């Protein structure tokens, strides 16, 4: 399978803290991956490095066939604008702009005149036809996140990164947004990489990658929320020093599709 995003031996330190430690991982085209792990395990750092928002100290990152390492700030910014979409927990919409104007913003930043039909289609694709003139304050949390998703997708990015996209939403609204993201992957072939703490949210993904102490500690294919919760409930066993024991202790009863990677490629 083609990989849209690939990291090779990526390391990122902040002073004495090693946030990412020799991470090698690939993300297939048209797949939905959830990144999970305890607080401080390096999830956001992984996302930021993969999206070109942060630069690793060592290793290589490739997005849509372009190696980010060594790109000038200008070229990196252009690549981010044209090939990468990002959705945050806090929506990050501009409150004085309408939904339509918010969605058109990335096109303006890329020096393109937003075509009204393109912007309206992006809003319709996330179920917001008829809300084009609403400002964020007149929209519900779920609708605001849909505007943010339309904004991230309007440039037709090769990959969409989402950092806790349902963290600020109630459970029912979160399900709606996750269902919509799932459909984007299934029907439009969107590649999606999402950080989440929520096993239910991770259950929408094709694969869960678990981080611990800045390393890839394991992965779970076709995850159910119960399998994800079982993994998270035994992180020490799952990432312990004995590779043979890790699988047996950390994943008891989890079933098929489970792999303990221990920092190796996924
Ligand atoms: N800009 C920074 N300066 C200093 N330390 C940082 C910085 N960013 C991250 N770190 C540290 O790197 C480690 C990994 O942080 P990161 O935010 O990637 O973890 P996370 O798994 O996303 O955590 P959380 O689930 O709490 O958001 C942590 O120890 C964190 O304190």
Domain locations in the chain as residue ranges: 3-259
Task: State the chain's maximal CA–CA distance in angstroms.
Answer: 58
Per-residue pLDDT of the chain (266 residues; tens, 9 = 90+): 699 999 999 999 999 999 999 999 999 999 999 999 999 999 999 999 999 999 999 999 999 999 998 899 999 999 999 899 999 998 899 999 999 999 999 999 888 888 899 999 999 999 999 999 999 999 999 999 999 999 999 999 999 999 999 999 999 999 999 999 999 999 999 999 999 999 999 999 999 999 999 999 999 999 999 999 999 988 655 444 333 333 322 322 333 344 544 333 44
Residue 70: what pLDDT?
Answer: 87
pLDDT of residue 1: 66
Sign of the Cα pseudo-torsion (185, 138, 140, 144, in order): positive
User: For residue 48, what are its two tokens?
Assistant: 């930021």
Task: Determine the pLDDT at residue 241.
Answer: 38
CA 39 to centroid of ligand 1, rounded, Å: 8
Q: In terms of C-beta density within 10 A (0-12 exposed, 13-18 middle, 19 or more buried), how is residue 159 classed? A: buried
From 39, 42, 210, mutation site for ligand 1 pocket: most ligand atoms within 8 A of C-beta: 42
Minimal-distance CA residue to ligand 1 atom 16: 42
Q: Does domain 3-259 have CATH number 3.40.50.300?
A: yes
Q: Cα(20) to centroid of ligand 1, in Å?
A: 9
For the record, the structure tokens of 156 come out as 């037709």
């Amino acid at each position: 399978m083609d990989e849209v995003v690939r990291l090779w031996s990526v390391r990122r330190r902040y002073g004495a803290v090693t946030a990412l430690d020799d991470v090698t991982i690939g993300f297939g085209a048209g797949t939905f991956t959830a990144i999970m792990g305890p607080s401080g395990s390096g999830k956001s750092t992984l996302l930021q490095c993969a999206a070109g928002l942060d630069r690793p100290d060592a290793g290589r990152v490739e997005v849509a066939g372009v190696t980010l390492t060594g790109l000038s700030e200008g070229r990196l910014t252009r690549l981010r604008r044209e090939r990468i979409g990002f959705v945050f927990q806090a929506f990050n919409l501009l409150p004085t702009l309408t939904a339509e104007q918010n969605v058109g913003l990335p096109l303006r930043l890329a020096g393109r005149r937003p075509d009204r039909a393109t912007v309206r289609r992006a809003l319709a694709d996330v179920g917001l036809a008829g809300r084009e003139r609403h400002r964020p304050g007149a929209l519900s949390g779920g609708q605001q996140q849909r505007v943010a998703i339309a904004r991230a997708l309007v440039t037709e990015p090769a990959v969409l990164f989402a950092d806790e996209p349902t963290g600020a939403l109630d459970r029912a609204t979160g399900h709606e947004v996750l269902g919509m993201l799932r459909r984007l992957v299934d029907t439009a072939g969107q590649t999606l990489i999402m950080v989440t703490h929520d096993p239910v949210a991770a259950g929408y993904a094709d694969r869960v990658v678990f981080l611990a102490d800045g390393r890839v500690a394991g992965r779970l294919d076709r995850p159910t929320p119960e399998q994800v919760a079982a993994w998270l409930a035994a992180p020490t066993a799952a990432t312990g020093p004995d590779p043979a024991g890790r699988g047996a202790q950390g994943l008891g009863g989890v079933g098929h599709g489970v792999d303990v990677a221990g920092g190796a490629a996924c």
